[in-house]
């Protein structure tokens, strides 16, 4: 049974997650956009576990979502708790603390455009049936078109549809902190985000918490050559 008691479906369109839940035998769903049309942002998550799966991979910079984005192919893990998963060992270990037995990740792509990713999980182990797999692909295709239309119509700067500051889906502080670390260190935007992730991992904190410290100017990455 799907846990709807902790729904955090906000952002561009929370109904997108519900479409997957209503059509497939999964426990939870989350969708994030990675397109250059908008900062990397979680669009919706059906429950707290779905949100945590997304957050862990964002914080760690590893996990099946990155494989799906890199290969532009679904990553299907019907028995995700089995095996060592050498490509993402830290995420795999963290996943053992969650009620997740199967994980199915579908990239949202349109031609040469990478829009984002949908992550589906189940508390029960086992593969999707051929019919359910086909349905998931159709839903992913429909979500891609819907997200693209919404992204193209968002007002500059995020508009009223962007998650508000303080929302569990907003990563505005992370993007702001990345820019500040870039200015402090002279690193690229990619390397600045890596620094935030590394600091968060070393301190046992989330990237969002570290970003808040950077924005509040209580944490500074300026090199100390003295």
pLDDT at 121: 98
Q: Average model confidence (pLDDT) for the chain?
A: 84
Q: Mean pLDDT across the stretch 125-153?
A: 91
Q: Which of 66-75, 149-158, 211-220 has the lowest mean pLDDT?
A: 149-158
- Domains of the chain, first to last: 15-154 (3.30.450.40), 172-215 (1.10.10)
- At 92-115, the pLDDT tens digits run 999 999 999 999 999 999 877 888
pLDDT at 13: 58
pLDDT at 162: 47
Kindly list the distances between the CA atom of residue 90 and the CA atoms of 76, 80, 81, 98, in Å, as whole numbers in the listed order: 19, 13, 13, 14
pLDDT at 11: 43
Q: Strands of 28-33's sheet, edge to edge?
A: 41-45, 28-33, 113-122, 102-110, 75-77
Q: Mean pLDDT across the stretch 181-206?
A: 88
Q: Which of 6-10, 14-18, 26-30 has the lowest mean pLDDT?
A: 6-10
């Amino acid at each position: 049974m799907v846990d709807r008691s902790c729904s955090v479906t906000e952002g561009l369109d929370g109904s997108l997650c519900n479409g997957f839940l209503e059509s497939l035998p999964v426990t939870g769903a989350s969708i994030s956009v990675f397109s250059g049309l908008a900062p990397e942002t979680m669009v919706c998550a059906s429950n707290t576990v779905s949100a945590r799966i997304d957050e862990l991979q964002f914080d760690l910079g590893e996990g099946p979502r990155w494989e799906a984005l890199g290969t532009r192919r679904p990553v299907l893990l019907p028995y995700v708790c089995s095996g060592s998963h050498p490509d993402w060992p830290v995420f795999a270990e963290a996943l053992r603390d969650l009620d997740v037995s199967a994980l199915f990740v579908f990239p949202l792509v349109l031609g040469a455009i990478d829009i984002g990713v949908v992550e589906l999980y189940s508390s029960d182990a086992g593969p999707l049936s051929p019919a359910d797999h086909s349905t998931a692909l159709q839903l992913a295709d429909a979500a891609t078109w819907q997200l693209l239309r919404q992204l193209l119509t968002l007002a500059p700067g995020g508009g009223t549809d962007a998650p508000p500051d303080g929302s569990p889906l907003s990563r505005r502080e992370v993007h702001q902190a990345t820019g500040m670390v870039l200015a402090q260190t002279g690193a690229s935007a990619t390397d600045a985000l890596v620094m935030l992730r590394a600091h968060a991992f070393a301190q046992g904190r989330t990237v969002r918490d570290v970003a808040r410290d950077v924005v509040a100017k209580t944490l500074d990455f300026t090199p100390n050559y003295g």
